[in-house]
Chains A and B, each alone.
Chain A
Amino acid sequence: MNPNHSPSRERVERYAGRLRRYFLDNPLERRKVFYTLLAVCSATILLGIFALTRSDRPYSHGPVAGVHTSFDANCEACHKPQSIGSVGVSAFNPQSRWLDLECQTCHGGPDHHRDAKWPTDWPSQEINGKPTDAQCAACHHDHNGKDFSLVRLDDAHCTKCHADLANYHKAGSSQFVMKVKNFYDPAGGHPEFKKLDAEKQKPHERGLKFSHAHHMTEGVGYLAAGRGKMTKKDLVALNKDDPTAASRYFGKDAAADAAVQLRCSSCHQLDAGRMNLDGKSSLVASLAGDPKASILPPRAEGAYYLPINYEAHCQTCHPLKSPALTSDAGQEFPAFDLPHRKQPKEMKEVLRARYSGYLLSEKGKLDLLNKNAGDEETLKVGQQLEQAVNKSLGKLFASVNPNAKNAISGGTCTECHMTAGNDPNVEKVTVVSPAIPTVWFEHSKFNHISHRSYSCIDCHPNTAPAPQGKATFDAAKIYTGDDQKINILGVESCRVCHTPNTTRDVHGVGMGGVRSNCTDCHRYHNGDNPFQGRGAELRDPPKK
């Protein structure tokens, strides 16, 4: 007998291969078997119910993002199903199979960076039917809940390559800074905005003479010399045919001699609103009778400002008219409305047509047909006409003294536009098309409406009006220097708020704590075209 065992052990039955006594005759064992069968049945029934519902949701490893809710119960909407046979082939590359998604069925658009060398631990994927190193799920992780953003990515996704881009880009092909670790830390490597950096090398050519400070000053006038303030009375006089023109800038009770005071919003309108379609501008006239709301695109979220447009934003104060003049022979030619966006050669044809029409009209008092005029007299009239056209054209495109009263009321082209060429023959001069981008920093996104708690001048220097009573602009310099610079503060101004650290603004107010992730500003897949949104051709799925 084993000395460690009690003597009572000798009283038990010897094992003789009768397992039944050890198991099924044992109440504990019987219950164990019963509960196990119960568990097996419960699990089988539950999984059977899942199978009968024909829904994949129970097998999903997490709810998909809200934007993909309609696919939550259908794995094959995104994942390519694998057969038993294919398991063996790619068993050693499971993640690649898992990430072999069908994103391109709905999502088009180019790769992130076509000539990037992707990290070797990021498997490849076919995009648009072509093998590529890029893979959607390397950055966009679904199945993380309804509220999980697929586009607000952790910086690590970007800095994996961008912290040392030389290793992940074909040599010499990158136009980007090689080492960026974060945005908020000046030592993190994020560069100054590219446009601002480029301007230090070569100032941006706007092709337009414009001073924000001048236009924001009360009356938009030069107190030191020449032209006085623009008043309500002046606006009414300039827009005799459009009684609504002055109402854009004045209340109903404004006095006739009240000076015009422009605000930023007088011209800059968010894309959430409508460009000014009231009044009788040529733009409005061109849409007369058409359902404007149907023709114009639906409004956006107010991230950007609508482009400045002559008809909507300039014409009220700067109506384009030919100068009133008298020919050497005494023939009077009154001022006519002129079309915008015409080169000198085209404008000459317009002037010739307008003057001809005038001479042939009752008002022109030159009824050639009734006078039965001979060839010689007709030739003289023709000479007067050409003389008037050339004189008018010369005034329109000649260098203009901005102090001259006619600079506003006469509406000369070169008051605002730069010209190319300095030929005495005005017809050979070319008006430079303005090059003012609607979005200056195209490689990032910015939402103006999200920053509406700040005033415009907080971020846009040199746009404030001159102090009261000190609007003494130097006419010779007013359209040069700071006015021609890109009036946007640099990256440091963003870092005041967009940093995890606590900072102080110029007033000593505590700032910081605003998110500063890469994807808060940058977008990819054709992100260099800010207005190429989803649905644009470049982002459409490939045609099958």
Chain B
Amino acid sequence: MVSYPRASSWFGVLTGLVGAAIIFFEIALWGRKRRRGQRWGPTKLWLWWHIVLGWAVLPVIVVHSGFAWGGMVSATTMILFLLVIASGIYGLLLQQWIPQRLLELIPDETVATQIDYAIEKHRTEARLIVEELVPRDPNDPSPVWMRAIVTGVPALRLQEFRENTLDPYLNFGRKMKSPLNSRQESSVLFNRLRAELPENAHVSLAKLERLADLRRQWDDHARLHAFLHGWLLFHAPISVAMAIFMVFHAIKALKYW
């Protein structure tokens, strides 16, 4: 029988204290991110230490455990700890691969959390572009309508396209069925419109096509972003639950040292 250092030995307690300190630091990263305005050092540096100490704490806690699961609370704590470490490693691997892939696939990437905000601007932009091309209400006293570039059936078709196809697509993206979901179908659709519209409207039409393309890219961006950060939905809550169990485990262990 091999004798390992037990959690109750001075070495075991030391590793427990060191491990707990590291775990609290790891959890503090969340607070650091929510306090971006504070001068607590660069978040990038915090993340680097989060990763380095996250690796280091694994052997520390395993040694602290004495290679045994212990009772229900300590075993639960250990299982949650291992899940946190495993999910962290999974996230770290994703972070090594997806960002570069994202830059390659989405040349027009943006801040993912602001896609909806930016899309609202795009919808307004599309509406203004079309309004500039087609005649407005004849009763409108503004002389702008007199400068309408697209008139007649093409104007009606362009207006109908914006309202029933482009705008819903910009609003909901891939969530709805739309020919604009496909780059190929989108290209066919816009080429057909281009053939109907006068040449001086083609620049505006290209802007609309560009907006549809951005929506397509940002849908992909949102999907990759969810993939890139979705593991945190597991990693963060489990970390907090593990910390709660850890504190209870420590209090009880200290009482019966």
Which A residues have a C-beta under 8 Å from some C-beta of B?
Answer: 6-9, 11-13, 17, 19, 21-23, 25-26, 28-29, 31-32, 35-36, 38-40, 42-44, 47, 50, 56-63, 75-76, 79-82, 87, 90, 92-95, 97-99, 141, 143-144, 154, 156
Contacts and interface: CB of A to CB of B under 8 A. Distances in A.
A29 B30 CA distance: 11
A59 B252 contact: yes
A56 B225 CA distance: 45
23 contacts: A6-B107, A12-B117, A19-B34, A21-B114, A21-B117, A22-B113, A25-B113, A28-B232, A32-B237, A35-B233, A35-B237, A39-B240, A40-B241, A56-B252, A57-B72, A59-B253, A60-B70, A61-B71, A79-B256, A87-B257, A95-B8, A98-B257, A99-B8
A50 B249 CA distance: 12
A95 B10 contact: yes
Given A82-B255, A94-B13, A98-B257, A60 B232 contact: no
6 smallest CB-CB distances across A and B, nearest first, come from A61-B70, A98-B8, A39-B237, A60-B71, A59-B252, A8-B110
B8 A43 contact: no
A43 B245 contact: yes
Contact of A59 (B73, B121, B229): B73
Contact of A28 (B110, B121, B229): B229
Nearest to B70: A61
From A22, A93, A94, name the one whose CB has the most chain B CB atoms within 10 angstroms.
A94
A121 to B, nearest CB: 9
A153 to B, nearest CB: 8
- The binding surface of chain B is classed by DSSP as helix
Nearest to A157: B3
A31 B237 CA distance: 10
A32 B253 CA distance: 31
From A36, A38, A57, A90, name the one whose CB has the most chain B CB atoms within 10 angstroms.
A36
Given A31-B233, A32-B233, A94 B113 contact: no
B8 A62 contact: no
Contacts of B108: 6-8
A508 B10 CA distance: 52
Given A8-B108, A13-B117, A60-B71, 8 more contacts: A6-B106, A6-B107, A6-B108, A8-B218, A28-B113, A28-B229, A47-B244, A80-B256
A38 B236 CA distance: 11
A483 to B, nearest CB: 45
A41 B118 CA distance: 36
Contacts of A28: 113, 225-226, 229-230, 232-233
Contact of B70 (A43, A62, A90, A154): A62
Interface of B: 1, 3, 6-10, 12-13, 34, 36-37, 68-74, 106-111, 113-114, 117-118, 121, 214, 218, 225-226, 229-230, 232-234, 236-238, 240-241, 244-245, 248-249, 252-257
A92 B9 CA distance: 10
Contact of A62 (B71, B236, B237, B238): B71
Contacts of B3: 154, 156
Contacts, number: 145
Given A26-B113, A39-B241, A82-B256, A32 B70 contact: no
A95 B6 CA distance: 9
A17 B36 CA distance: 9
B27 to A, nearest CB: 11
B83 to A, nearest CB: 11
A94 to B, nearest CB: 4
A79 B252 CA distance: 12
Nearest to B217: A8
B34 A6 contact: no
B87 to A, nearest CB: 12
B165 to A, nearest CB: 22
B109 A11 contact: no
Nearest to A17: B37
Contacts of B70: 60-62, 143
A36 B240 contact: yes
Given A12-B110, A13-B117, A62-B70, A82 B254 contact: yes
Contact of A36 (B71, B237, B257): B237
A59 B9 contact: no
A528 to B, nearest CB: 26
A13 B114 contact: yes
A29 B241 CA distance: 18
Nearest to B251: A59
Contacts of A95: 6, 8-10, 12-13
Contacts of A141: 6
A81 B109 contact: no
Contact of B109 (A8, A32, A87): A8
Nearest to A144: B68
B10 A43 contact: no
A41 to B, nearest CB: 9
Given A58-B72, A95-B8, A8 B214 contact: yes
A11 B241 contact: no
Contacts of A50: 72-73
B1 A154 contact: yes
A11 B121 contact: yes
B70 to A, nearest CB: 4
B249 A59 contact: yes
A71 to B, nearest CB: 12
Contacts of A11: 110, 118, 121
B21 to A, nearest CB: 15
Contacts of B109: 6, 8-9
Given A47-B244, A82-B256, A12 B118 contact: yes
Contacts of A93: 10
A29 B233 CA distance: 8
B37 A40 contact: no
Contacts of A94: 8-10, 12-13, 257
From A75, A82, A87, A98, name the one whose CB has the most chain B CB atoms within 10 angstroms.
A98
Contacts of B257: 82, 87, 90, 94, 97-98
A12 B114 contact: yes
A82 B252 CA distance: 10
A47 B10 CA distance: 27
Contacts of B232: 28, 32
A39 B238 contact: yes
